Every structure is written in structure tokens, then in C-alpha cells.
Amino acid sequence: MKHSVRLFVLLALCAVVCALACACGTSDTVVQGQNGEKYTLRQDGTYHLTYVPEEAEGVYEVPNSFEGHAVSGVGDYAFDGCINLTAVVLPQGIRSIGTQAFTDCTALSSVTFPSTVQSVGAWAFKGCSSLTQLELPASLTAISDFAFAGCPALQTVTLPTGLTALGKSAFYDCGALSSVTLPAGLASIGESAFRDCTALAEVVFAQGSRLTSVGSYAFFGCSSLAAVSLPQGVTEIGSQAFRNCTALASAEMPAALRSIGTSAFADCAVLSAVTLPAGLEEIGDYAFSGCARLSSATVPASVSQIGRYAFADCTRLSSVTFENTEGWFVNRMAGATTGDAVDLADPQRAAEAIRSTYVSYYWKRG
């Protein structure tokens, strides 16, 4: 019996040692370069540049090879703390830029991207306060969360035609960015993607756009945006997507639109007219609240729900036409299936009801 126990323990120890040996054998190898930089040899036989000393300054050219192996990426935090770096030249063959690779490189004003870059990691260039322009390569398909957030001097961005994913807060708080063209392959705009881009006056959607949704807070606080015409495939506008766009006077909504989220156009103070598409089903809470110049609206027959305070503080709203006036009721409870009936035959009375009398109620059509 004792012999069996000892044998079992010995076999277990051997298994652990073998597992550790295998793990060590498959781990990446870190090699230091001549100037203190570090490279990590990856499983595919290429290197990633993973560390550059903080003393690096001026123009930094990443080599295309190291010790006979191609350099295929810039690793996470590689240039962290390099506050005197003014320009970076990335060579052909670089496919990825890691998380926080250049975060807070405050003197960085120029980045040369090769035609091989496919992805830019989260926070990769966040806080690069001297960066003024970006020309991203056609090979790039994904921009991760916060990748270029907090770049206050960034004025122009060329987004590649192959871009399919734009992460949340990707260009958040880029206060000098004045225009952007979103490529046709982009299916969704991430949450807060352009939030507080206060100089953003023009958003162009490429012909043939496959966009289906605008994320929550996507253009929140874009106070220079005067007009927006959403692509025909958009079905959803997220909560607070255009809130505080104080210059927004015109919003053209597509036929495919089904849902307008909570506070989506709240506090768009100069928005004077809204044409809601025929297929719209739901208008969220506070959707148009604080649109002080909004004077009229037409609610399509397809709409079956209108949230609380949807038209609150729309002080000039004097006419609301319901294309289907039958079956509407109001209730203070969100999940209610019955409530007080509302007479919506007269557009002026309907406006008073939705703006004032029943402003704090949920509206539903049974």
C-alpha cells in the first residue's frame, strides 16, 4: 500500500515537472538590443519591439528585422514614458500595435504607418497631445477602444477603406478634429467613439455604407456638428448618441431605423424639425428633451412606444401629428399593459399632452 502511494506521488511530481518544462519551452524569449531596447521572440519566429528606454528622443525608426528575424509588431507599453519622442517611423512588416504602446508620448507629432498594419490596440496613442494628423493605412481593419482618445491637437484623420471595427472612445476628446469620413465597411460606431470632439463639424458616410448602429454617446457633445444624414441601413441610434450637439439643426434618419435611444438627441437646442421614418417602432426616454426650437413632429403609424420625457422642455413644440391615433394609453409604470387613454386626433392637443400634461408618463399603443 505504501509503495503504491509513493509511486502515485512520484508520478504526480513528474507530471508537474513536465508541465513546467513544456511551459518554459513555449514561452517567448526576450532579447536586449544595443541601445537598451528589448525584443520578444514570438512563436511565429518574428520579433515584437516590447521596450524602448524613456530616454529615447526625436525621431525613432523601428527596424524591420532583429537578429535575422522580422519585426512584426510593437508590443504593449513599448514606448511608455518616452515623453521626448517627436516622431516614429514604423517599417513594412509591422502588423500590430499593442495596448498603450505610445500612451502619453506628449511630444509625438508624427507617426508613419506601413501598409501592413492590421490592428491598433487599446489606448495605443491615448494622450499624445502633439499629434496633429493621422493617415492610417488601407490594411488596417480594427481600431481598439481609446486608441486615439485625448489627442487634443489632432485635426485630420484618414480612416482606411478596409476598416470594419471602431472601438469605444476611439477618438474621444479629440477637440481639434474637424471632419471625418467613415468607410463603407464599418458596421457600427463604438460607444463614445467621437464624444466631445467639439470642433467636429462634418461626418461623412462613404457611399454604400453598411453601418447598422450608432453607439451610445458616439457623438455626444460634438458642439460644432450642424447636420447629419445617417446611412440607409442604420436600425438603431444609441442612448445619448447626439446629445449636447448644440449646433445640430438637421438630422436625416433612414427608413430602416427602428429605435431611437434614451436622450439620443437631448439638448440639441437648435434642432427645429424632425422627420421620423415610417418603420420606427420606439422612441426612448428623453429622446428629444431640451430641443427648444423643435416646433413640430410626426409620429409614424409604426411607433408603439414613446418613453417618459421624450419631448420634455421642447418649449416651442406646438404640433405633433400621430399617423395612428388609435389605441394609445399612458401609465407611470414602464411595464404596464393598460392605462389612461389619450385623445390624439388634434395635433395641437397632442403636442400639449406629450410635452406637458403626460410628459412624465410612458406612452404605449395597445
CATH number of 63's domain: 3.80.10.10
Picking from 296, 315, 334, the residue at the C-terminal end of a domain is 315
H or E element, residue 6: helix 2-26
> pLDDT of 301-341, one tens digit each?
999 999 999 999 999 999 999 999 999 999 999 999 999 99
CA–CA distances in Å: residue 166 to residues 145, 148, 239: 8, 11, 18
Range 173-201 average pLDDT: 97
Q: What is the pLDDT of residue 28?
A: 77
**Considering the domain boundaries, does residue 13 fall inside one?**
no
Per the structure, the complete domain to which residue 256 belongs is given by: 178-315
Compute the CA torsion angle 190, 199, 174, 219 (nearest 10 deg).
-20
pLDDT at position 233 is: 97
CB neighbours of residue 154 within 10 Å: 25
Chain segment 7-42, per-residue pLDDT in tens: 443 444 444 434 433 444 445 799 999 999 999 999
Q: Are residues 221 and 287 in the same domain?
A: yes
Pairing of strands 227-229, 250-252: parallel
Contact 238, 218 (CB under 8 A): yes
Q: Residue 149: inside a domain, yes or no? A: yes
| Residue 27, pLDDT score | 58
| pTM of the entire predicted model | 0.90
Residue 191: how many other CB atoms lie within 10 Å: 22
Domain count, the chain: 2
CA distance 139 to 313: 47
Q: Which helix (H) or strand (E) holds 79?
A: none
Query: Do residues 111 and 134 touch, judged by C-beta distance below 8 A?
Result: yes
pLDDT at 3 over 50: no
Tell me: the pLDDT tens digits for 55-81?
Answer: 999 999 999 999 999 999 999 999 998
> Which residues is 97 bridged to in the sheet?
74, 120
Cα distance between residue 69 and residue 196, in whole Å: 43
Last residue within a domain, chosen from 169, 194, 214: 169
228 plus 136 within the same structural domain? no
Whether 322 is covered by a domain: the verdict is no
Q: Cβ distance 275 to 253 under 8 Å?
A: yes
| Boundary-marking domain end, from 169, 198, 223 | 169
Same domain, 63 and 115: yes
Query: What's the pLDDT score for residue 273?
Result: 81
Contact call for residues 58 and 48 (beta carbons, < 8 A): no
Is residue 247 very low, low, confident or very high in pLDDT (cuts 50, 70, 90)?
very high
Instruction: Judge if 42 and 125 occupy the same domain.
Output: yes
The chain-wide mean pLDDT, for the chain, equals: 92
145/205 same-domain check: no
Question: Is the per-residue pLDDT at 265 higher than 90?
Answer: yes
